[in-house]
A and B are shown apart, each in its own frame.
Chain A
Amino acid sequence: MKRTMTLFWQLSIGLFALASWQWGWELHAVAPWLVPDLFDPYFVSKPSEIFRQFLHMGCLVSPRDEWTYQVAGAFARCIGHSENNLWIATYFTLKNTLWGFVSGVSSGFALGLLLGRSDRLSEIFYLYITAFNSIPRIALAPIIILAFGIGDASTVVTAWLVVVFLVFFNTFEGARSVDRDHISAARLLGASEWQVTRTVIIPSAMAWLFASLSPAISFSLIGVIVGEFIGAEHGIGRMIIEAEARGEAAGMMVAVFVLMIVGVFLSSVVRRIQAYLLRWRPAQRAGG
């Protein structure tokens, strides 16, 4: 019963928001005292417009307003027509996000483990890492583009830069907070130094690493979009910039919605992986 009510409210709010967006501007013209002028289509477009634009940008409908699946070869022709259509852009953004995520997580983990387990190294490098961490990473994006040129490389590097610190600090904390009794237990059971690292320290630090995977994938997506804003040939971020240059609110909105779907998809996949990897944890999953 409670579930049904929740669903009812969710649906109502969603429909109300869509309706206001669709007809709000016209209503404002008729009754300015009733509806505020929040929905100027020049800036935010309209749901119907955005949907139409989505069909076009996704080559589901040809420029002549025919469904492409009804005409043989029309979809392929449409795709070939534009270098950065919705599909190609999504593919590039996804690909670069995953690369940024994978490279950031693995290097952040290795670095965190190394410094977390060596007091000497962490003493020396901690100053630099903290200083570097204080720079808003996005501020470095133009420098990265300058160094790596326009293209995938600089997008991935931007994403990496955003992810690596997050994962580093998590792993570092994890490696420092390994339960000393677990280490003692392993030693007393006959573990060598290397075996202690492999069977106690890495698994303990992994728990912290896994907890940072969810934010890491979101951060990676942010890094990629910023990279694409500034210097990329493909990708959804690039698409937004192009639509902006043409003053096409609907095109920007399509890109934003696709980004939302990509974001939801990525984080649900990562969350699932995370839940599996952390299945040994006591059942307090609600807290994350």
Chain B
Amino acid sequence: MPNIPPDLNGRCRIELRNVRKSFVAEGREVVAVEDVSFRIREGEFVALLGPSGCGKSTILNMTATLLASNGGEIRIDDKKVVPDKPERHVGYVFQKDTLFPWRTVEGNIGYALELAGVPAEARRVRVAEAIHQAGLDGFARFYPASLSGGMRQRVALMRTLIVQPEILLMDEPFGALDTHTKLDMHSVLLDIWERERQTVLFVTHDLGEALTLADRIILLSARPGRLKQEFSIDFPRPRDAVALRETPEFAELFSRIWHSLGEEFAKGHSA
């Protein structure tokens, strides 16, 4: 298995071994993901980067048990994942807005606690804390329809984080936001992650975003998605989402990876 990096220190939380996924479209088999293997260690923030349609979301969704793979295996904490049987300690953040429109901000954030049967009083305290942490004070009783896109994504993030998942799978969660709001969300996420150190697999096609947030970038090739290259991002932490972008190191790494990524974008277009 050539692509698996050496397990440095810390236990392995997520492991993909020769994962493959194909779909049948118009009677023909289309391979979306081919022979993908990687490991993510405890407390590591990994960005899965690649051009649109390269299968990065597919990889994430298979890890989240939303999709079944056609080959290889995916292990979380050394246990093979079963499609449609989500793991309790794995949180997932969607790209699409999936807040429940009929629940208020506090109703959405407290949803998972409600499912788990946490008593109302304890729930209220934890929800209030999460609302404060996300900078949503005063919006507890608002319905999603009256919030901006950025605020909705904060609520979605808190809805996932409130049960304190140890592993966090994020599917381009800030993909639909404007640049300013996006940077804002990076600060919110860095703030939370640098304190709680969940194990994160973060899918994105935005190189700047990957560099800002991640410890490691896994670059995928254009369809069918294969591992192309890996980059360690060792900017010191805590990071400042805005100031980091202005450092020469950031620019240097950006242009190095951009070159690699550019090739894949070109392939993605010609395909």
State whether A189 and B160 are in contact (beta carbons under 8 Å apart), knowing that A184-B66, A280-B102 are contacts in the complex. yes
Name the distance in Å between B199's Cβ and chain A's nearest Cβ: 16
Main secondary structure of the interface of A (DSSP, over half): helix
Kindly state whether residue B94 has any CB partner on chain A within 8 Å: yes
CA distance A188 to B94 in the complex (A): 11
Residues of chain B with a CB closer than 8 A to A283's CB: 145-146
Contact B143 A181 (CB under 8 A): no
Kindly state whether residue A77 has any CB partner on chain B within 8 Å: no
Question: Among B115, B143, B145, which residue has its beta carbon within 8 angstroms of that of A189?
Answer: B115
Question: Among A199, A207, A282, which residue has its beta carbon within 8 angstroms of that of B145?
Answer: A282
* Residues 75-94 of B contacting A (Cβ, < 8 Å): 84, 86, 88, 90-92, 94
The winner among A195, A203, A280, A283 for most chain B CB atoms within 10 A is A280
Name the distance in Å between A196's Cβ and chain B's nearest Cβ: 10
Name the distance in Å between B111's Cβ and chain A's nearest Cβ: 6
CA distance A203 to B143 in the complex (A): 14
Contact A280 B145 (CB under 8 A): yes
Contact A188 B92 (CB under 8 A): yes
Residues of chain A with a CB closer than 8 A to B64's CB: 188
Contact B112 A190 (CB under 8 A): yes
Kindly state whether residue A260 has any CB partner on chain B within 8 Å: no
State whether A203 and B102 are in contact (beta carbons under 8 Å apart), knowing that A189-B115, A189-B163 are contacts in the complex. yes
CA distance A281 to B101 in the complex (A): 7
Question: Among B94, B111, B159, which residue has its beta carbon within 8 angstroms of that of A181?
Answer: B94
Contact A189 B159 (CB under 8 A): yes
Kindly state whether residue A266 has any CB partner on chain B within 8 Å: no
Question: Among B84, B104, B116, B144, which residue has its beta carbon within 8 angstroms of that of A190?
Answer: B116
Interface residues on B, range: 20 to 34
Kindly state whether residue A279 has any CB partner on chain B within 8 Å: yes
CA distance A281 to B144 in the complex (A): 9
CA distance A200 to B160 in the complex (A): 16
CA distance A189 to B86 in the complex (A): 8
Question: Among B94, B114, B143, which residue has its beta carbon within 8 angstroms of that of A185?
Answer: B94
CA distance A40 to B201 in the complex (A): 82
CA distance A213 to B40 in the complex (A): 52
Q: Which residue of A lies closest to B103 (CB)?
A: A280
Known A-B contacts: A181-B94, A182-B100, A186-B115. Give 10 more (CB < 8 A).
A181-B96, A185-B98, A188-B92, A190-B163, A195-B115, A199-B100, A200-B100, A279-B143, A280-B103, A281-B101
- Could you list 30 examples of A-B contacts with CB < 8 Å? A179-B98, A181-B96, A181-B98, A182-B98, A184-B94, A185-B92, A185-B98, A186-B115, A188-B90, A189-B111, A189-B112, A189-B159, A189-B163, A190-B86, A190-B88, A190-B112, A192-B115, A199-B111, A199-B114, A203-B100, A204-B102, A206-B102, A280-B101, A280-B104, A280-B143, A280-B144, A281-B145, A282-B145, A282-B146, A283-B145
